[in-house]
Amino acid sequence: MSGAQMVERITRVVIAGGGTAGWMTAAAMARALGPEVSVTLVESEEIGTVGVGEATVPPLHDFNGMLGIDENDFVRQTQATFKLGIEFVDWGRIGARYIHPFGPIGRDIGGLKFHQLWLRHRLLGGPEADIGRIEDYCLSAVAARQGRFARPSPDPATVLSSLAYAFHFDAARYALFLRGYAEKRGVRRIEGRIASVERDAETGFLLALALEDGRRVEGALFIDCSGFRSLLLGEALGVGYRSWQRWLPCDRAIAMPSESAGPPLPYTRSTAGPAGWRWRIPLQHRVGNGHVYSSAHLSDEAAHRELTNGLDSPACGEPRMLRFEAGRREKFWDRNCVAIGLSSGFIEPLESTSIHLIQSAIFRLMALFPDTGFDRVEIDAYNRWLTREYELVRDFIILHYHAGERDDSAFWHHCRTMDLPDSLATKIDLWRGKARLLREQHDLFTEDSWCAVLMGQDIMPRGCDPLVLAMPLQETGRFLVNLRERIAITAAAMPSHGEFIARHCAA
């Protein structure tokens, strides 16, 4: 279509699929597009959803804020708990534990990064014999270790203002919550199975979804939220898939819920095994567990056994097997179709990034919302944005597998010795020299996140920033001691996570 002729506003949006991606998109559109745009969502209960996806990252606050939803209500309705970070167990080396926390680590001074100060004392020694672990300087990490939670203070002068958090929630209830929100604001839901997709013979643009029972759902803009199958972008438009399996060999997961065991922890736990890792996500009414593994290195039976042996409470549901391939679509937006969610790509859930990538795609689509001209330059900009964002998440996930000492199985040997994407190799080299971290635009993960994982997996740099050496050692030593103490005192004054939920948002 050329932008010169008869360009009109888009008034009909069709969303194919009603999982987390479909209902997040529907809710956002219901809120942002106004009543002139009709939004129709088609989903099939018979096919169902992937049904996992229960841990999130802090930018979800922006999505909730955009919808204007009350947080306590949201937590109650989705059986949610609060998440202060992820504890990594047996990553790096067997027996090691570290937290990748949300929120800042330490406080930068005089334009110098905090980790440089800490590192200087660690590498070159100083008057303070014990500077502790770097996570001792992050309130979210210290509170997580103590099982505590409180909402951050709005006063930036307080240590409590540095607390950052996300959520764990029940995926099915989250989709239902958003469905209620979207339907109340005019989104039309159609129950039915999409049998085929009609395209314009000349332009290839999508015209309508044809349902198995003969109904047609016409639209001007189509959002493919159909999950791994990618019915519209992948199947109908033939947009290819770029595999990242050589860097991320895990290709299967078994998910299994278990009963709650004691008060919920305010963090996700990820425990590495011989050929993958297990997640543990505490909710109010149960615990979500799963095992992500490489089928080339571990049989399904062994993976299942490892998962059940690792449960810390009795299972309360059937195991669910999922297959996937890490990677992304060659394009996220083609013609009048945008893929959001699993239909657009998948990076394993080690850092809970998929729901964030859905949110990011929605925000970027809103920022470039098309008219019927479907301006090529805008579509290209969208595809470039999303591509870079996916690649940055990919690099961060690969880092977890590659950094560290584990070499105790063929799987870990592969991860340790594989060639890295150039972008990641450069980042690690910069770190190994003088602990430099240069955050790229579009990177979800801050310098503190990279630092937490690099240090957590014992990748110690050879030196530190020469500028930090100019600071008086005694002064920086005192600064470290004071900061650590203030964080410890603040954490100790917070209620337990269980108490906080009981008081404010119990389901």
Ligand X SMILES: Cc1cc2nc3c(=O)[nH]c(=O)nc-3n(C[C@H](O)[C@H](O)[C@H](O)COP(=O)(O)OP(=O)(O)OC[C@H]3O[C@@H](n4cnc5c(N)ncnc54)[C@H](O)[C@@H]3O)c2cc1C
For the annotated binding site, the residues are: 18-21, 83, 342, 351, 355
The answer to whether residues 99 and 88 touch, using CB atoms and an 8 Å cutoff, is yes
CB of 361 to ligand X, least distance (A): 10
CB of 278 to ligand X, least distance (A): 11
Q: Considering beta carbons, is residue 114 or 177 the nearer one to ligand X? A: 177
Using CB under 6 A, which residues numbered 50 to 89 contact ligand X?
A: 50, 52-56
Pairwise CA distance, residues 24 & 47, whole Å:
19
| Residue 43 in the binding site for ligand X (CB under 6 A) | yes
| Residue 208 in the binding site for ligand X (CB under 6 A) | no
| Residue 47 in the binding site for ligand X (CB under 6 A) | yes
| 17 Rama sector, left if φ>0, alpha if ψ -120 to 50, beta otherwise | left
Query: Between 150 and 179, how does the x/- string for binding to ligand X read (CB under 6 A)?
Result: ---------------------x--------
The answer to whether residues 394 and 247 touch, using CB atoms and an 8 Å cutoff, is yes
CB of 178 to ligand X, least distance (A): 11
Q: Which residues are annotated as a binding site for FAD?
A: 18-21, 342, 355
- Choose which of 14, 182, 206, 231 interacts with ligand X (CB under 6 A): 231
CA distances from 375 to 3, 31, 384 (A): 6, 24, 15
Q: What would the two tokens of residue 501 be?
A: 């939920």
Using CB under 6 A, which residues numbered 254 to 313 contact ligand X?
A: 255, 290
| Residue 216 in the binding site for ligand X (CB under 6 A) | no
Q: What is the SS3 string spanning 404-435?
A: CCCCCCHHHHHHHHCCCCHHHHHHHHHHHHHC
Which are the contacts of 465, defined by CB distance < 8 A and separation ≥ 6? 112, 113, 116, 434, 435, 436
Alpha helices in 46-113 (DSSP H): 60-67, 71-77
Pairwise CA distance, residues 317 & 288, whole Å:
10
The answer to whether residues 170 and 283 touch, using CB atoms and an 8 Å cutoff, is yes
Which are the contacts of 258, defined by CB distance < 8 A and separation ≥ 6? 286, 287, 289, 311, 312, 313, 314, 315, 316
CB of 228 to ligand X, least distance (A): 6
- Choose which of 75, 172, 220, 253 interacts with ligand X (CB under 6 A): 253
* Residues identified as active-site: 83
CB of 66 to ligand X, least distance (A): 17
- Choose which of 217, 225, 338, 483 interacts with ligand X (CB under 6 A): 225
Using CB under 6 A, which residues numbered 318 to 357 contact ligand X?
A: 322, 324, 341-343, 349, 352, 354-355
Q: What is the SS3 string spanning 147-197?
A: CECCCCCCCCCCHHHHCCCEEECCHHHHHHHHHHHHHHCCCEEEECCEEEE
Pairwise CA distance, residues 25 & 14, whole Å:
11
**CA count, 13 A, side-chain hemisphere, 56:** 27
| Residue 190 in the binding site for ligand X (CB under 6 A) | no
| Residue 362 in the binding site for ligand X (CB under 6 A) | no
- Choose which of 10, 26, 28, 42 interacts with ligand X (CB under 6 A): 42
The answer to whether residues 89 and 270 touch, using CB atoms and an 8 Å cutoff, is yes
Query: Between 3 and 22, how does the x/- string for binding to ligand X read (CB under 6 A)?
Result: --------------xxxxxx
Query: Between 364 and 403, how does the x/- string for binding to ligand X read (CB under 6 A)?
Result: ----------------------------------------
Which are the contacts of 107, defined by CB distance < 8 A and separation ≥ 6? 114, 483
- Choose which of 10, 26, 33, 44 interacts with ligand X (CB under 6 A): 44
Q: Considering beta carbons, is residue 253 or 494 the nearer one to ligand X? A: 253
| Residue 449 in the binding site for ligand X (CB under 6 A) | no
- Choose which of 67, 194, 239, 480 interacts with ligand X (CB under 6 A): 194
Q: Considering beta carbons, is residue 249 or 341 the nearer one to ligand X? A: 341
Q: Considering beta carbons, is residue 20 or 40 the nearer one to ligand X? A: 20
With contacts defined by CB under 6 A, how many residues of the chain interact with ligand X? 39
Q: Which amino acid would we find at residue 463?
A: G
In DSSP terms, 259 is beta-bridged to none
Is 324 strand, coil or helix? coil
Q: Considering beta carbons, is residue 229 or 434 the nearer one to ligand X? A: 229
CB of 438 to ligand X, least distance (A): 26
CB of 74 to ligand X, least distance (A): 16
Going by the DSSP 8-state scheme, the letter that residue 26 receives in this structure is H
CB of 380 to ligand X, least distance (A): 24
- Choose which of 48, 238, 310, 433 interacts with ligand X (CB under 6 A): 48
Which spans of this chain sit near ligand X (rule: CB under 6 A)?
17-22, 42-44, 47-50, 52-56, 171, 193-194, 225-227, 229, 231, 253, 255, 290, 322, 324, 341-343, 349, 352, 354-355, 358
